[in-house]
Amino acid sequence: MTELFEPELTELIRKSTLGDITFGMPEDMAEFHKPWAYYEFLGIPRDASQEQIKEAYKRLSLKYHPDRAGGDTQRCQTLNQIFEVLGDDGGVLGTEHSRRKHYDTVSNFDGFFDGYIVHGKERTQKLSEILLINLEIDKMLAEEKHKVSERFPEYCTLLDNLQQAEDSDIRFDILNQLLGISARAKGVPEEKIAEMEKFRREQRKRNEEETAKLEQELKSNPVNYSVKVLDVLYTGGGRFTFGTLPTLMKFDLSSQEVGKNVIKLVIGNKDDANRFSSPYLAGFQQVHFKSPKADVVVTDPHLVGIMHVIEGTVDVEYDGSSYGEVIRVMAPKVSYDSRFTRRDNLFVPARFATQNWWKKKPALDIRVGNGSIKLALKSERIARRNYDPYGLIFDNYIKNNLSDNLIYNKKENINKIKY
Q: What is the mean pLDDT of residues 236-258?
A: 86
Structure confidence by residue, pLDDT tens digits, 114-130: 889 999 889 998 887 77
Query: Helix 168-185 to helix 190-220 angle, to the nearest 10 degrees?
Result: 150
Q: What is the mean pLDDT of residues 387-414?
A: 41
Structure confidence by residue, pLDDT tens digits, 199-235: 878 877 877 787 778 777 777 776 777 788 999 999 8
pLDDT band, residue 396 (cuts 50/70/90): very low
- For the cut 80, the answer to whether the pLDDT of residue 356 exceeds it is yes
Q: Which of 88, 107, 126 is the last residue of a domain?
A: 126
Considering the domain architecture, whether residues 240 and 121 belong to the same structural domain is answered as no
pLDDT at position 100: 87
Q: Which of 93, 126, 159 is the last residue of a domain?
A: 126
- For the cut 50, the answer to whether the pLDDT of residue 390 exceeds it is no
pLDDT at position 169: 74
pLDDT at position 32: 58
**Residue 253 within a domain:** yes
**Residue 184 within a domain:** no
* CATH code for the domain in which residue 105 is found: 1.10.287.110
pLDDT band, residue 15 (cuts 50/70/90): very low
**Residue 135 within a domain:** no
pLDDT at position 24: 64
pLDDT band, residue 284 (cuts 50/70/90): confident
- For the cut 80, the answer to whether the pLDDT of residue 180 exceeds it is yes
Q: Which of 126, 143, 176 is the last residue of a domain?
A: 126
Considering the domain architecture, whether residues 90 and 229 belong to the same structural domain is answered as no
**Residue 383 within a domain:** yes
Considering the domain architecture, whether residues 233 and 347 belong to the same structural domain is answered as yes
Question: Three-state secondary structure along the chain?
Answer: CCEEECHHHCCEEEEECCCEEECCCCCCCCHHHCCCHHHHHHCCCCCCCHHHHHHHHHHHHHHHCCCCCCCCHHHHHHHHHHHHHHCCCCHHHCHHHCHHHHHHHHHHHHHHCCCEEEECCEECCCHHHHHHHHHHHHHHHHHHHHHHHCCCCHHHHHHHHHHHCCCHHHHHHHHHHHHHHHHHHCCCCHHHHHHHHHHHHHHHHHHHHHHHHHHHHHHHCHHHHCCCEEEEEECCCCEEEECCCHHHCECEEEEEEECCCEEEEEEECECCCCCECCCEECCCCEEEEEEEEEEEEECCCCCEEEEEEEEEEEEEEECCECCCCCEEEECCEEEECCCEEEECCEEEEHHHCCCCHHHCCCCEEEEEEEEEEEEEECCCCEEECCCCCHHHHHHHHHHCCCHHHEEEEECCCHHHCCC
Select the more confidently predicted residue: 265 or 163: 265
pLDDT at position 80: 87
pLDDT at position 304: 93
pLDDT at position 332: 96
pLDDT band, residue 341 (cuts 50/70/90): very high
**Residue 216 within a domain:** no
Of 315, 244, 317, 311, the closest CA to residue 280 belongs to: 244
| Number of folded domains that form the chain | 2
Distances (CA, A) of 202 to 168, 209, 254: 15, 11, 16
Considering the domain architecture, whether residues 116 and 228 belong to the same structural domain is answered as no
Considering the domain architecture, whether residues 263 and 408 belong to the same structural domain is answered as yes
| Residue 287: domain span | 3-18+224-416
